[in-house]
Structure 1
């Protein structure tokens, strides 16, 4: 067990380098920026913000232990929690490792800010001494025994007893707003079970509340929830998830094909319009929610993005072309890691937030907390035995135990949304965690070994790709498994998907074969590809259909031009076409007096004028365009934004920082060496504030350096009494102390006395 220390800072100084490194790993916020020495580390570790962050990462068991230490201390914690002393001691050691408690000469104490944050531990009110100035105003004394509380409760009327029963395990404070309820409140105050506050409120003192609970902090056991989920065979879960994975990959390819044909516009406010969203959902034969998930996961993985043009549209990216060459398992790994780490929340698409409709791929469809929630759900699922298929209630209970401060009772967990997305993605199969999903939570995207491990786990579940289909006489084709890339590309162009599942059914039609020919494939090449990718001979009906479509394909042709040149003088046009210097204009004569060019009209005018011609621009009705005077402007410089960078701390960095802190502490003046002549080192205002708050809480003197009103720097022995509002009040001096109040910014440094 740790040795007793004089102060929180001394407790940290007494730790070994390994214990300091473990503290830095458990609370990485203490390292940004790196503290100068252990004194600065102690000051930062006791600040409200840092302690709040550490408490939010405690699970339900650790948080209840902290509450027990605040209410009954270490000696009574085991009885208050209904746990063994050995388990409590082990829990206290874990809290000590995170610097949330320290061992004083009188026993274990919580860090100062813990009590400031947990003002109502376990739902109990403040102590009697804090609630009333004169405890004699209560019918019962502050040291009320359980027997006295039981006697007082037994003498209550039925209505007052019902109120106590309702408040026993809930909040200690209540409002009594009607005359009848105020009469009940007065009865409870007279009985010594409550203290009247301002207005109609009253609160049960902490000692009375604990006695009403029989000395227990909670009626639930001090243990995490033990769900009993149904069991699913792991192989069945992996097989079911493989089907979802193949469907997801197909849908992403369908989106890319649809946007290659007709790219939808990017809304002025960002995102995809509701009309394009619905149109795509109809093409994918999927719900609006599933379509939003497919688009958001593709966008998060970098497969779809805005092309950045003035009239911007959504298109597949260059990465998509590379992604399609990967194996199905590797493609899924990229999607799964992107889903785990993205802040996008596809479930928000289509909802109204503050009266504004959230569009898929829009800026409002982002929710940073969704990333943390996905990781929490994945960690909960990974902790369950293999094959467990928990219900949503089971997952929510485990989430609330895992993050009790962030997810108190009544707060939405969004576990149903995460589980639904995990099922669409193939992380869950039949409600159970898949083998690939189990490898996902700890995978590092920058580690090739981790990526390969997730890919290997998924590849064992996916069936081997096939490169042939079975052609049917009814113009359908059946793919008995996932198609290889070449076969999949051909079938996606030549036929439409009619149904998916263990096998995929395609149907050939006039429109699908015309789509194939539009991609530059001739009828002979199409027949050759059909023979190559078919297990069966080509049905006569399909061959006739292909021939009929090919005969009609291309009879009518459509082209485009950007500008034209018109002249009544045919000889002038002959000279333009024959001029080799104008070859770049690609002039093509379509009539005796008209030539067309793919170049823009402005370019055409400039080039003709450079070659000593005298063209003029004309409108669509033949009128002459008069050029208006223009003023050139410099382009507005783009505003650069700095991307968010997340720094993590590894074990090696923690050990190095712990060594530097130890070396700095050795070079610093020992607290016991401070006297009236020792130099007081300068302190950061945050460190100064924390040291003074600790000294006030522990009623110990400190040496301070301070600046007088005239600018003189002085020093003295100071006994702080209170620290509020950036000012500290206490007694300055040793032999004849005087009460002084200092602003924190006027104190240059603090050192232990």
Structure 2
């Protein structure tokens, strides 16, 4: 145990029966204590895991900073060049003793010093450039082979390896290159024995004979460190951040394009809500959305399966749909869907965009197969990835760092750039996540033409409310007119006013959407408008007042013809009844085969009744070629179509991922002040402490000691448990005691501290 403690502070070695420890000039704890408060606050900002729970002093901070898990987490944020410097320091043994920074890599000294400052700023390293040290856990966090280099070979000492490499053949070079740029060990059948070069037949055998490979066992070979370094001389070029080719656009053009995409996704989401209101999607036994329902959605909305998956995941993330708790679970719109439908387009978009940014799932995985060839279904737990919001934000932040209106030329270039900036992050899906994020952000209008839109920037910087306002400005002004064509199509050359869009939606069906929406008027659509209470005069007036083109005569005739037949047959609930002024029509219905299935009974020449619901009767009669309409008690036409099923659910609170929250400077400063106070308490000389839990001592003794200190103006060392449950130490000049609280000043400041007496575990007078 003591040997391990000594290793933390200096070099450890055996000398005969004695252990000799040469203490380094500066330990990590001493180096941290010498840093100013701003530097320590920056450490806590860069490595927030070190601040939870609050460190009692810098010794605790140094201990946490050297743990393997914390070091590995911090290394995930380092770029390729900084990691190369870290690997070079490990190769030089900086985790065992200080090493000079100069000449560590064949790069300009300024870049080397900048990377070292980054490592020191995150306390992965400490010390000056003449002797920089690494935390011991850096070697464990760096893997079995730091820098991807094998062990040194004594046979290659003072040997010009480049000369040996110039003599090898192409097949040998492929083996050496593969080991130099990957793991330095490999499995092979050719390592059973080392043959003379004249007898070697395979590339592995020849490399072993030349001494460019080292035999580990009968099936394993290792590339020596000297060979790996020689092969990777060109790696210096790879230590430079990749170039990102960009294209310039006007920000107004980017915003207009984003607004156009936004209107499309809003239209699709509205259609999904209406579709699943009438005919909910069934949940698979294993969870998620089945292939049949996905394809039904793609056919109805004329979108791809990937778009359908994204749409369903967005609806789930924004609490617009939820799974029912029934014997056969279904996906049904929630009560929040009605609120979303009633909101303005800009606010609708902001809800979806904020939900996507916070979505702990990867919609891009939907439809793919895992390693066991299992299909990953949308809305299933297989798509859940808690790190998704962080990775998504990293992609958008890289785009937002470009000038407004500047877009990327290739998603692959952005993926390569982000891979260089954090090669240890993302896992095997790292590059795919970049492409998925760009595709999804483009569909949502957060990104357009490869650049972050104005509303997208507002979403990242200010939140959903500001983003909605910016999107409202980017969206085109609603128009109050349309164009009626001779082929019974209605063209809306822009976004219609909400009220006008609802009216057109009643009398026509969307045929194609985009910057200009095309509707088609048909007998079915006109009958639908009449069913909800519109009259022929209402429809004629709508087209006459709102159309900027002459009304074709065919449309006028169609409206009049459908209206003439519509509603001649009236139905009511008695349970249900049908009435008509024409006895011949009533007789025709009664004689039709559908009358038997509807259990219609004639009670008067102009009246039929049935025990079945009226809506079912009307649907069957329409399918049989009749055109009935429903009426209320006053004889007015009413719409009996169901509004759709809904499930009650609580809205998810949209929040930024923990890793994206900006640390509170005041809170960090308070933690640093607390650590400084702990350092002073640990270094103070004090008398024998008294403790409420020690033998013979009680709380009265602690209070008596505090009263004595108040009378004499003495300093008191106090050990206590803070509100976070952590043991802390403080040095205080007490000035008042009462009400279960001791008040006092910090020796180095005027701040008044109030400490609950019941939290004190021990106390002692400080000896000057």
Fold similarity call, TM over 0.5: yes
Residue of 299, 304, 317 corresponding to 1:287: 304
In 2, Cα distance between equivalents of 1:339 and 1:253: 17
How much has 1:78 moved relative to structure 2?
6.0
- The offset of 1:168, in angstroms, is 4.2
The separation in 1 between residues aligned to 2:119 and 2:48, in whole angstroms, is 15
Asked if 1:89 corresponds to 2:139, the answer is no
Query: Is the contact between residue 81 and residue 221 of structure 1 (CA under 8 Å) also seen in structure 2?
Result: no
Match of 1:388 in 2: 407
- Aligned-pair distance for 1:173? 2.1
TM-score for both structures, normalised by structure 1: 0.69
Report what 1:500 is aligned to.
Answer: 513
Of residues 646-655 and 292-301 in structure 1, the stretch that sits farther from structure 2 once superposed is 646-655
Give 1:431 shift: 3.4
CA contact (8 A) 2:408 2:414 kept: no
The 5 A counterparts of 1:96-111 are: 96-103=120-127, 107-111=131-135
- Partner of 1:34 in structure 2? 54
Aligned pairs for 1:646-685 within 5 A: 648=661, 649-669=663-683
Structure-1 separation of matches of 2:50 and 2:331: 43
Q: Specify whether residues 494 and 78 from structure 1 end up closer, same or farther in structure 2 by C-alpha distance, changes over 3 A only.
A: farther
Q: Does 1:314 align with 2:331?
A: yes
Structure 2: distance between partners of 1:242 and 1:105:
53
Q: Distance in 2 between matches of 1:155 and 1:204?
A: 17
Matched, 1:123 2:148: yes
Match of 2:580 in 1: none
3-state DSSP class of the match of 1:314?
strand
The whole-number CA distance in structure 2 between the counterparts of 1:558 and 1:308 is 36
Cα distance change on mapping 1:642 and 1:397 into 2, 3 Å = closer
User: For residues 70-219 of structure 1, what are the structure 2 equivalents within 5 Å?
Assistant: 70-72=90-92, 79-103=103-127, 107-119=131-143, 120-127=145-152, 138-140=154-156, 144-145=157-158, 147-153=159-165, 163-178=175-190, 183=195, 185=204, 188-189=207-208, 191-214=210-233, 218-219=235-236
How far off is 1:303 after superposition?
2.3
Counterpart position of 1:367: 385
SS in 1 for 2:515: coil
Q: Which structure 2 segments of 5+ residues have no match? A: 1-23, 196-202, 577-600, 614-651, 694-768
* Residue range with higher mean Cα deviation, 233-242 or 16-25: 233-242
Decide whether the 8 Å contact of 2:508 with 2:521 is kept in 1: yes
Q: CA RMSD in A?
A: 4.0
Q: TM-score, normalised by structure 2?
A: 0.68
Q: 1:297 aligns with which of 293, 314, 319?
A: 314
Shift in CA distance, 436/678, structure 1 to aligned 2, threshold 3 Å: same
Structure 1, unpaired ranges of 5+: 129-137, 446-450, 564-588, 599-640, 683-753
The Cα shift of 1:339 comes to 1.3
- Across the two proteins, how many residue pairs are aligned to each other? 586
Residues 1:312 and 1:118: Cα distance change in structure 2 (over 3 Å): closer
- Indicate the residue corresponding to 1:624 in structure 2: none
Q: 1:154 to 1:505 in 2, by over 3 A?
A: closer
Query: SS of the counterpart of 2:494?
Result: coil
Tell me the CA shift for residue 51 of structure 1.
0.6
Q: 1:34 to 1:556 in 2, by over 3 A?
A: farther
Alpha-carbon spacing, 1:224–1:409, altered in 2? closer, same or farther (3 Å): farther
| SS of aligned partner of 1:42 | helix
Change (3 A) 1:424 1:105: closer
- In 2, Cα distance between equivalents of 1:520 and 1:259: 25
Tell me the distance in 1 between the aligned counterparts of 2:90 and 2:186: 22
2:273 and 2:389 mapped to 1: Cα distance? 26
Task: Write the deviation string for residues 395-446 of structure 1: whole angstroms up to 9, x where unpaired.
Answer: 221121122012579965333222222222223323343333344434445x
